[in-house]
């Protein structure tokens, strides 16, 4: 395997499947199956998942809600998704731990870096919920932060598209995909990979990002084997 320890970032919207909102059990089971393939190969896996399928703090703020209150609601949405993913992974036979940046001790461990690292060393999949625990920070930022803290080799951002393009491929038929691109080029070209805080944090800590289509079966395993899938952002 090319990567020993990875941080998988999933969007909350991905869990909707074909639905308009909420969680699709079929999609959860499919993701669990993909994750099991790399777990069985000995890859150590940390996961951060968004909450957009349930609630987005930014969207709430745009409708007049207090931004801080909305962001905390969004953090709780990520915990719900984390619990759902935890259940699906355990149904597929994988040991897991859910750690949260906000203390919710009845359902999850509080985030402790050393404990998270030990879980990974023991082959447990660690799901990080509640973002960074602070308003105004996205789950992209939480993913990069946790990835750096627990010593991941790479951030794998699973999305609906199969990489980073010269333009939005859903709007521009002439858009072409990059196999690799540097952090500097992403910034210079104004491409959208992650929010600026997350992207800068990853760049400063020399942590590569791979953007790929999580819905295409086998992609996750191919990446961990070192095959070229999606777009790799490097220094």
Question: Which residue segments constitute the domains of the chain, with CATH numbers given?
Answer: 5-228 (3.40.1160.10)
Q: Yes or no: say if 23 and 55 are a contact pair by the CB < 8 Å rule.
A: no
52 a known binding residue? yes
118 pLDDT tier (thresholds 50, 70, 90): very high
Calculate mean pLDDT across residues 37-44: 98
pLDDT of residue 192: 87
Calculate mean pLDDT across residues 88-109: 97
Residue 234 has pLDDT above 90, yes or no: yes
139 a known binding residue? yes
196 a known binding residue? no
Calculate mean pLDDT across residues 194-201: 94
Q: Yes or no: say if 228 and 2 are a contact pair by the CB < 8 Å rule.
A: no
Calculate mean pLDDT across residues 171-190: 93
Calculate mean pLDDT across residues 17-35: 94
138 a known binding residue? yes
Calculate mean pLDDT across residues 14-24: 91
165 a known binding residue? yes
207 a known binding residue? no
Query: In angstroms, rounded to a whole number, what is the distance separating the alpha carbons of residues 149 and 152?
Result: 8
Calculate mean pLDDT across residues 41-68: 90
Q: Which of 65-69, 150-154, 209-213 has the lowest mean pLDDT?
A: 65-69
51 a known binding residue? yes
95 a known binding residue? no
pLDDT of residue 87: 98
Calculate mean pLDDT across residues 85-109: 98
221 pLDDT tier (thresholds 50, 70, 90): very high
Q: Which two tokens stand for residue 94?
A: 């994988």
Q: Which two tokens stand for residue 95?
A: 């040991």
1 pLDDT tier (thresholds 50, 70, 90): confident
In the Cβ-directed half-sphere of 65, how many Cα atoms lie within 13 Å? Answer: 16
Calculate mean pLDDT across residues 77-103: 98
pLDDT of residue 125: 98
Calculate mean pLDDT across residues 205-226: 96
234 a known binding residue? no
pLDDT of residue 160: 84
pLDDT of residue 62: 79
pLDDT of residue 168: 83
| More confident of the two residues 208 and 1 | 208
134 a known binding residue? yes
DSSP, collapsed to helix, strand or coil, labels residue 189 as: helix
Q: Which of 13-27, 69-83, 101-115 has the lowest mean pLDDT?
A: 13-27
Query: In angstroms, rounded to a whole number, what is the distance separating the alpha carbons of residues 179 and 165?
Result: 9
């Amino acid at each position: 395997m090319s990567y020993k320890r990875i941080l998988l970032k999933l969007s909350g919207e991905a869990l909707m499947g074909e639905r308009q909102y909420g969680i699709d059990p079929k999609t959860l089971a499919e993701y669990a199956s993909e994750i099991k393939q790399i777990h069985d190969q000995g890859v150590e896996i940390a996961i951060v998942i968004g909450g957009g399928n349930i609630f987005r703090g930014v969207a709430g703020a745009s409708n007049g809600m207090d931004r801080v209150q909305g962001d905390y609601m969004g953090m709780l949405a990520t915990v719900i998704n984390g619990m759902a993913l935890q259940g699906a992974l355990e149904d597929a036979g994988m040991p897991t731990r859910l750690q949260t940046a906000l203390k919710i001790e009845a359902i999850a461990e509080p985030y402790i870096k050393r404990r998270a690292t030990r879980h990974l060393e023991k082959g447990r999949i660690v799901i990080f919920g509640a973002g960074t625990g602070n308003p105004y920070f996205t789950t992209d930022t939480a993913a990069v932060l946790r990835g750096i803290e627990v010593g991941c080799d790479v951030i794998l951002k699973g999305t609906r598209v199969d990489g980073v393009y010269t333009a939005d491929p859903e709007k521009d038929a002439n858009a072409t995909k990059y196999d690799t691109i540097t952090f500097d080029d992403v910034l210079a070209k104004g491409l959208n990979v992650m929010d600026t805080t997350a992207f800068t944090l990853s760049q400063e800590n020399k942590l590569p990002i791979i953007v790929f289509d999580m819905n295409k079966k086998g992609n996750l395993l191919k990446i961990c084997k070192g095959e070229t899938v999606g777009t790799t952002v490097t220094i």
